Structure formats: structure tokens, C-alpha cells
Amino acid sequence: MRTIGHFIGNKPVEGTSGRFAPVWDPATGARATRVALASATEVDQAVAVAKEAAAAWRSASLARRTALLFRYRELLVAHRDELARLITAEHGKVHSDALGEMARGLEIVELACSIPEKLKGELSTEVSTGVDVSSIRQPLGVVAGITPFNFPAMVPLWMFPVAVACGNTFVLKPSEKDPSAALRLAELAAEAGFPDGVLNVVNGDKEAVDRLLAHPDIAAVSFVGSTPVARAVQLGAIGHDKRVQALGGAKNHMLVLPDADLDLAADSAISAAYGSAGERCMAVSVVVAVGEETADALVARLASRAAAVRVGPGTDPDAEMGPLITREHRDTVASYVGGARDQGADVVVDGTGYTVPGHEEGFFLGVSLLDRVTPDMDAYRDEIFGPVLCVVRAGTYEEAVSLINDSRWGNGSAVFTRDGGAARRFQLEVETGMVGVNVPIPVPVGYHSFGGWKDSLFGDHHIYGNDGVRFYTRGKVITTRWPDPADTDAGIDLGFPRNQ
């Protein structure tokens, strides 16, 4: 069986730990290959290579860095279909979703191509007689990224292009569940001309993560994953004096007011809830409908649309939703549907027990729609991370916003309404880091930063955009006084001719 290794110093490196994890084909349930799990020693090797490259890379001109990033972007565009196929093979999402993932990752590469603009400093002249003050930003050194299974290409691209553009070198630890896309990203970076050691990939599990958090030569750690692990990463990084940005889980709410376009709201909720099988931190998992009449009309529309969602392998061009990442995760998600029924919810559409003909062993689950969900139910409280949409009924706008703000998560939210005043009030009152107005998944474009509030973010910085540049650099203020060459009392002779 083929074994996936690491990529260190611009070349493939076989694993030496003797530990491996299976990589599954979610559409068939078959073990496709295996991935080597790095030991602490192998992590040390990658960090040492990155540290050796750091001194030269931080001194590389902005012109050189941006030229390499422009070349890298062109390679990603040329290979995006290939990368999308790798994503589909190991994650399971349909090909169109995988292409969308590549498009959002490319946005951040394009942001990184503009790094000279982002790294411009500030200058104040004559703050005192003959004294100037300037502010500059400098790279941190070696930084690390720990990325999740649900976006195996996009989330790494949210991290390392900005980090290396700022002059850092990078060690990436992707998810061991679908590692091939990250390795291919590193291979293309080498092809683009990135110097040896600027971008390195080590595959692994908790042992590799723990070593990255403890390694004295790692200056900062970026993480995207579940809330419990994000909290642990933050504590581990801070405990070893590292800068950290750790993005956690979510329970994103979509508020539908009585005046909303209910067809638009229903279409948006279906796409946002079931796209990528619900395995995304920006999925809409709760619709809050204000008023019984609104809720009844909206649930009817959601039910008809949910029943029509085409589920199949990601390679099927007609499929709109693929399988889940593992059998265990599929079964966990399914358990929430039965649990919600037991706790009093109405199961309007039940996707449990769904099979795809010819792929009976695949990790498939149909879409589920739950109505009359209440905040005390497990399906509401927990991040399910699957194709399950909950509908909560609220009597008033104030009740709905209060319910959203009581959530321990604060990643994203959306409001659907025709009333500009109501929308403005919502965007100011809701306690989430990202807000959509008639937009169900408000993922910011590359030049604005991504991140939530409360238990959805640990650390002070959001990811990519200006926050990303600030995270991967540190400021320095320089105060300067130079003697005036015309001041003969200063005793300076520059060799200029003088008239006697």
C-alpha cells in the first residue's frame, strides 16, 4: 500500500516513526492509502530546515517574494482541477465544492501578492528638532499552521502565503485524514521557486501538534479546528511563549424576519446548511424564524428543497452533496437526528440510513431537517458538523437576537429581510464576528479578515487580511537624529568643495 510521507526542504521525505494512519475514500468506505505520522524528532527536522532558511528569506527583497508568489498563483490556477480532484478523493466533497475551495484559497494568494502595499511603514519627520520617527513591521521567523480536514487546501492557503510573503518560513501540519492536497500545494511552491525550507509539510497527529506547540524555534502558531482543540492549542502555545491565532467551532444562526423573501431565504439556507455535507465552520446550522406564520411557510419551502438535494460520490457531476469524512463521524451526526426526535423536535426530513446505490459502504448521510428545536436540545447546543438543519421558532425580533447572542459561539450569523433599518439594527446588535445581510455564509473576501467571537476564536487576531499580516509580523519603532552636514560645529567633513 502506498504511504504518504512529508515534504521538507523542497523534497519528499519518508516517515521514520513507524506509525501510520489510514486515509479513506469516503465514497466507497475503502482504505485508499496510509499516511505516516511524524514523531517529535521528525517535527524537529522540519523546524530546523525552516530555521536555516529563515535568515536568507527574511532578507529577500519584496520584489523577489512577490515574483515567486505571482508564479505560484499561476501554477495553482493551472493545477486547480487536479487539486480539486485530490480534495474530492480524500474528503468526499463534490467537485464543484472542491473548485470553490480552491477559488477562495487563491484569493489569499492574490492578497499575498500585494504584500509590498501591506508592509509599508509610517514616517513622521521633525517630531523634535532634527528627529524623525518611523514604524516598520518585520517577520517573526519560523511559524507553524495546523489545519483541519474540511478544507484541506483552502485553510493552508489562508495561512502560509501571507506568512511567507511577510518573510517568515512555515511548517504546516495538515489533517491526517486528507493530507494529499497540502503536499501538492508544497510541491507546487517548490516548482514556483520557493527556496528550500521556506514551506515544509509534516503529517501527524497529537504528537506532532504537541511538539510544534513546545518547540522553542516556533514563534507563532495558526490553528483552525474544533473549539476544544482550539482552546488547548491556545493554552499550549501561550504556555511556551508563542503568539497564537486559534479558530474554533461554530453554531451559525440565520434569522428570517416576516418580511423576508422566503424563497430566497429557503434557497440560501439549503445551500448554506448542506453544502460540503455541512462540514464547514460557516455552515448555517440553525434557522430562527420570527412568527409562526413565517416559520410554517419557511419550513414547507425548506422541506421540499431538502428532499430534492442529490447525494452521491463527489465524482458524480450530478451530485450536490457528497459523503462525510469518516464512518464514525457519519454515525455521530446521524445520532443527533434520533436524539432530537426523542427530545421533542419534529423530524421533517430524516436523512439517516441513506445509502447510494453502488456505494453502500460509503460514508453517506442524507440531509435532515428538524423543526421546533429548542435551545435545551443537544442538536441545538452542539456543533454537529454535518447535514442537519435546525429550525427554531421565535415570537419577536428581540427574542430571536437574544437567543443568538446567548450562544457560546460567535462565528457568523445572517439576517434575511427587506427592511434596511432592521438589517442595520441586527448587524450592530448581534454578537458574532461575521454578519451576512441576505447573504447566508458571510465569509469575507481576502482583503478583509476572517474570524469570530467568543468560543469561535482564541487569540487576538483573525486570519488573513490585515489581521493576518499583523499576526505574522511584529512592529518596530525607530527614532533617528542625524547631524546636519552643513553644521560645521558637528565636525563632519563629507569632502564637499568649499569656497574660502
Which residues are tagged catalytic? 281
CA–CA dist 165, 179 (Å, integer): 23
Q: Are strands 388-394 and 284-290 parallel, antiparallel or unpaired?
A: parallel
Contact present, 473 and 140 (Cβ < 8 Å): yes
Unique residue bearing C-alpha cell 434569522: 255
Contact present, 404 and 410 (Cβ < 8 Å): no
Shortest CA distance to 253 belongs to which of 386, 384, 432, 421?
A: 432
CA–CA dist 156, 179 (Å, integer): 11
Contact present, 343 and 294 (Cβ < 8 Å): no
Cα-trace Rg, the chain:
25
Contact present, 181 and 249 (Cβ < 8 Å): no
Question: In this structure, how many other beta carbons lie within 10 angstroms of the beta carbon of residue 344?
Answer: 11
Which residues, 6 or more positions from 254, have their beta carbon under 8 angstroms from its beta carbon?
Answer: 265, 268, 269, 272, 284, 286, 287, 288, 413, 414, 415, 416, 440
Contact present, 461 and 468 (Cβ < 8 Å): yes
Which residues, 6 or more positions from 235, have their beta carbon under 8 angstroms from its beta carbon?
Answer: none
CA–CA dist 305, 369 (Å, integer): 10
CA–CA dist 270, 256 (Å, integer): 14
Shortest CA distance to 394 belongs to which of 289, 243, 248?
A: 289
HEC string for 255-292: EECCCCCHHHHHHHHHHHHHHHHHCCCCCEEEEEEECH
CA atoms within 13 A on the CB side of 392: 26
Evaluate the CA torsion angle 64, 69, 71, 72 in order and state its sign.
positive
Which residues pair with residue 155 across a beta bridge?
Answer: none
DSSP assignment letter at 78? H
Contact present, 162 and 187 (Cβ < 8 Å): no
